[in-house]
Amino acid sequence: MIGKLNHIAIVVPDLAAAANLYKETLGGRVSNPVDMPEHGVTTVFVELDNSKVELLHPLGEDSAVQNFLNNNPGGGMHHVCYEVPDIDAAIKQMVDKGARVLGGGKSKIGAHGLPVVFLHPKDFCGTLVELEEIGEPQISYTMM
């Protein structure tokens, strides 16, 4: 069912420093930061030929990634995102196979304007997994 790796997300303590690291040290194609208040994050995307890296920094009071940063002050890998053709079919398959779907088992509109769900890390080898229904991105990033 899962298709391409859509992105790997890394939580960072300093977004400008991380963006600069990916741009200058690694020579990556790096977007300008985009605030996503509904997700409690500010995001920078690094465009790779075959995938993306999503640099995440907490935004606002109860950001989902603030706890992660408290536990990992230097930052760290937060989740991997796999593309699926149909989010509702994917949710059904997860439930049928006994995997826990976070957020009450309902998809939400994710950082790219497409339906996503997150799966419990304890069911996936200690890794938070995001499934994203593929389609045309609704949010465009301008590159630095």
Q: Residue numbers of the site for Co ion (CB under 5 A)?
A: 9, 81, 130
CB of 118 to Co ion, least distance (A): 8
- Which is closer to Co ion, CB of 130 or CB of 133? 130
Angle at 79 between CA 75 and CA 85, to 5 degrees: 155
- Which is closer to Co ion, CB of 9 or CB of 46? 9
Instruction: Tell me the two tokens of residue 92.
Output: 């059904």
Compute the distance between CA of residue 108 and CA of residue 141 in angstroms, rounded to an integer.
20
| Residue where the block lists tokens 């699926």 | 84
Report which secondary-structure segment, H or E, holds 96: helix 87-96
- Which is closer to Co ion, CB of 76 or CB of 98? 76
The 8-class DSSP code of residue 92 comes to H
Catalytic residues: 130
Q: Residue 70, Cα to own-chain centre: how many angstroms?
A: 18
Compute the distance between CA of residue 126 and CA of residue 78 in angstroms, rounded to an integer.
11
CB of 135 to Co ion, least distance (A): 15
CB of 61 to Co ion, least distance (A): 21
